[in-house]
């Protein structure tokens, strides 16, 4: 399998649990599912806009997003992004992976991600005494969590800058023509960006949902899109072994059929922790239906090897593990000589001069070996280094993989009917009219 922006998928450690012949037997089913997706057939096909999105984003659209980013970098110190679920997780995952806002770009703060007072208090503290903007993201504008935060923060913005000044500092990412947020934005004169009708929230990273906040943070959004487009191209092949998205989906499904019903996405790079959070929503909402699906969990190693690592090594054998690892971080940090007084009493002299990321890689290899011997089927997604292109490629791989995987499970990967259950109960308990 050729590398795409330095990404390699290695399924060899899982072969003791899923023999190559059994995996190969799934290839015709994977091909049939992929053909249906490409032709727009099957359940949820009205939400397949993400499939070709990386290759269809125009240069003019990217120009507009980058111009909005330049404006934000010139007039604010903080940009508060208000949204929940797919309306914020993608942007946050990319931003965390790439190390946060670029020099000279505003700090990106997320609000509306829940109903916790402490979370909103942190956002309010971040804008105290600092120039700020709001980016509110919602198809409807009536989702409770972001709507409450937006009402509070919009009031603060108006107090600070007046009604007209506040209007110039609000971007609404919403439906093209419908919904409360669209109506409010049109009435108030806010700048608006469109969420395509055929792209669901958890697949929306490469729409203004993700690209606008990232442009304001000074992220290389063109590199992100190119990485996704290049991975999309590779994942068009019908050769399952040469198609990382199809191979990932087939391997997971084959292991699922053998009783491995929980997947742990384990990264050895702390900056990729939020990629794990985005991945959990993508896979949990897409596959967890009709009593089916692999439960997605995530960990950050080596930190969690000192806690959850015990369970992964010796707990119930219903786990499979996908490692998300990075070979090199720049700039490199090396283990120094003892700065004096210790005379090597910490036992680290054998590591002097070695790069920390090289040591981290050996920790990954040791963990892979130990967990495999402990009865956990393992896969690994290896990145040469973290770049915008690599993260874009990873996003594309995971999105295509979950679409294929959901169809293999015979569920609709593009709806989320179970999400409404808590809302109905919550609104009834809150006394919402008509609930």
Give CA–CA dist 243/234, Å, rounded: 6
Q: How many CB atoms lie within 10 A of CB 317?
A: 12
Which one of 292, 334, 362, 423 is the catalytic residue?
A: 423
Which residues make Cβ contacts (< 8 Å) with residue 258, sequence separation at least 6? 17, 18
330 as an active site residue: the answer is no
Q: Give Cα separations from 326 to 36, 234, 310, 329, 366 (angstroms).
A: 34, 21, 23, 7, 15
Which one of 285, 287, 321, 399 is the catalytic residue?
A: 285
Give CA–CA dist 385/400, Å, rounded: 22
Which one of 128, 306, 330, 343 is the catalytic residue?
A: 306
Rg (CA), the chain: 23
Q: How many CB atoms lie within 10 A of CB 344?
A: 11
- Which residue is associated with the tokens 């903080």? 78
423 as an active site residue: the answer is yes
Catalytic machinery residues: 285, 306, 423
């Amino acid at each position: 399998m050729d590398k795409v922006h330095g990404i390699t998928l290695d399924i060899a450690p899982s072969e003791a649990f899923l023999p190559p012949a059994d995996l190969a037997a799934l290839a015709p089913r994977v091909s049939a599912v992929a053909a249906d997706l490409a032709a727009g057939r099957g359940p949820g096909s009205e939400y397949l806009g993400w499939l070709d999105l990386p290759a269809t984003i125009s240069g003019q659209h990217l120009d507009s997003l980058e111009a909005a980013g330049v404006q934000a970098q010139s007039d604010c110190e903080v940009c508060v992004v208000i949204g929940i679920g797919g309306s914020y997780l993608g942007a946050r995952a990319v931003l965390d992976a790439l190390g946060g806002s670029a020099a000279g770009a505003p700090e990106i703060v997320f609000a509306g991600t829940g109903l916790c007072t402490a979370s909103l208090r942190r956002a309010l503290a971040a804008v105290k005494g600092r120039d700020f903007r709001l980016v509110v993201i919602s198809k409807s504008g009536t989702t409770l969590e972001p709507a409450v935060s937006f009402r509070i923060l919009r009031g603060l913005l108006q107090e600070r800058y007046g009604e007209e000044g506040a209007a110039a500092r609000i971007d609404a990412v919403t439906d093209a023509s419908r919904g409360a947020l669209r109506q409010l934005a049109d009435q108030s004169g806010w700048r608006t960006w469109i969420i395509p009708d055929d792209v669901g929230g958890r697949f929306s990273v490469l729409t203004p949902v993700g690209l606008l906040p990232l442009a304001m943070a000074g992220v290389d959004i063109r590199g992100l899109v190119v990485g996704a487009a290049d991975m999309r191209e590779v994942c068009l092949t019908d050769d399952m072994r040469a198609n990382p998205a199809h191979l990932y989906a087939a391997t997971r499904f084959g292991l699922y059929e053998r009783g491995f019903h929980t997947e742990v996405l384990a990264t050895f790079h702390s900056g990729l922790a939020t990629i794990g959070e985005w991945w959990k929503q993508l896979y949990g909402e897409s596959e967890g239906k009709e009593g089916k699906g692999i439960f997605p969990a995530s960990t950050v190693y080596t930190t969690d090897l000192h806690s959850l690592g015990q369970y992964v090594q010796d707990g119930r054998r219903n786990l499979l593990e996908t490692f998300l690892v990075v070979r090199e971080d720049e700039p490199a940090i090396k283990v120094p000589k003892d700065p004096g007084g210790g005379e090597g009493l910490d036992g680290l002299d054998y590591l002097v001069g070695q790069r920390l990321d090289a040591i981290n890689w050996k920790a990954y290899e040791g963990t892979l070996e130990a967990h495999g011997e402990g009865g956990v089927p393992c896969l690994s997604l290896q990145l040469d280094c973290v770049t915008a292109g690599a993260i874009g490629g990873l996003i594309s791989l995971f999105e295509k993989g979950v679409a294929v995987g959901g169809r293999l499970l015979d569920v609709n990967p593009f709806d989320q009917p179970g999400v409404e259950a808590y809302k109905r109960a919550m609104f009834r308990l809150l006394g919402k009219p008509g609930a």
